[in-house]
Structure 1
Amino acid sequence: MIQHTVCFALVHTADSEAERDFLSAAAEVLPSVPGVSAFRIARQIGTQSEYRWQFSMDFSDEAAYAAYDAHPDHRAFVGTRWIPEVAAFQEFDFVPFGGER
């Protein structure tokens, strides 16, 4: 199992219609890509990071993750929404401790 996580800041004003639209679009598109499970959107409540948002999703294995990355719906979201609307981000990919990759 691979947990793919990305923490990010948007170019939009907090609590704006544009911010809500971006998050709604992500919630519609990303979990519908085959291989994605346990898709979550979370909001940062601490003050230690500039990243206000997090997407997290699970994949059964590297093949499922690679298929997601190459999927046309994911690529379209990245090109039309992510690149123009995300100001900064940090990506993390985790496997359970003791788990095989």
Structure 2
Amino acid sequence: MITHSVFFKLKFPKGSTEEASFLSAAAKLTTLPGVINFATLKQTSTKNDFDYGLTMEFENQEDYDRYNVHQEHLNFVNTYWGAYVEKFMEIDYEVIG
């Protein structure tokens, strides 16, 4: 099982129409083949500057690789990610124990 997580801060204020548009578009990623346990996260700690996160799981590397090149994922990245995200951190991992 591979967990794909991104934590980010948007360029737009909380409660803005741009924020709502971005989060709505991100939620559609749950429909892509291979995506399981998708969640949109809201930061509650003051230990970093990120406001939100997206996390999802994939059964195997092949599903994760297909997601990364899926046209709808690429459209999301090209349309929203670069234009809406101020900064981010991506963490992809597998449980080892």
> Which residue identity is paired with 1:49?
N
Which string of whole-angstrom CA distances, capped at 9 and with x for unpartnered residues, describes residues 26-54 of structure 1? 112x1111010000001001111111000
Q: TM-score, normalised by structure 2?
A: 0.96
**Structure 2: distance between partners of 1:24 and 1:75:** 16
The alpha-carbon deviation at position 13 of structure 1 amounts to 0.5
Structure 1 runs, 4 residues or longer, greater than 3 Å off: none
> Which residue identity is paired with 1:20?
A
> Which residue identity is paired with 1:38?
N
Which string of whole-angstrom CA distances, capped at 9 and with x for unpartnered residues, describes residues 71-97 of structure 1? 000000000011111000000011112
**Structure 1: distance between partners of 2:76 and 2:25:** 8
Counterpart secondary structure, 1:39: strand
Aligned residues: 97
Aligned to 2:37: 38
What RMSD over aligned residues (CA atoms) do the two structures have, in Å?
Answer: 0.8
**Structure 1: distance between partners of 2:65 and 2:37:** 17
Counterpart secondary structure, 1:51: coil
Structure 2 spans left out of the alignment, 5+ residues: none
Aligned to 1:97: 96
Aligned to 1:19: 19
Structure 1 spans left out of the alignment, 5+ residues: none
> Which residue identity is paired with 1:5?
S
Aligned to 1:8: 8
> Which residue identity is paired with 1:52?
D
**Structure 2: distance between partners of 1:78 and 1:43:** 20
Q: TM-score, normalised by structure 1?
A: 0.92
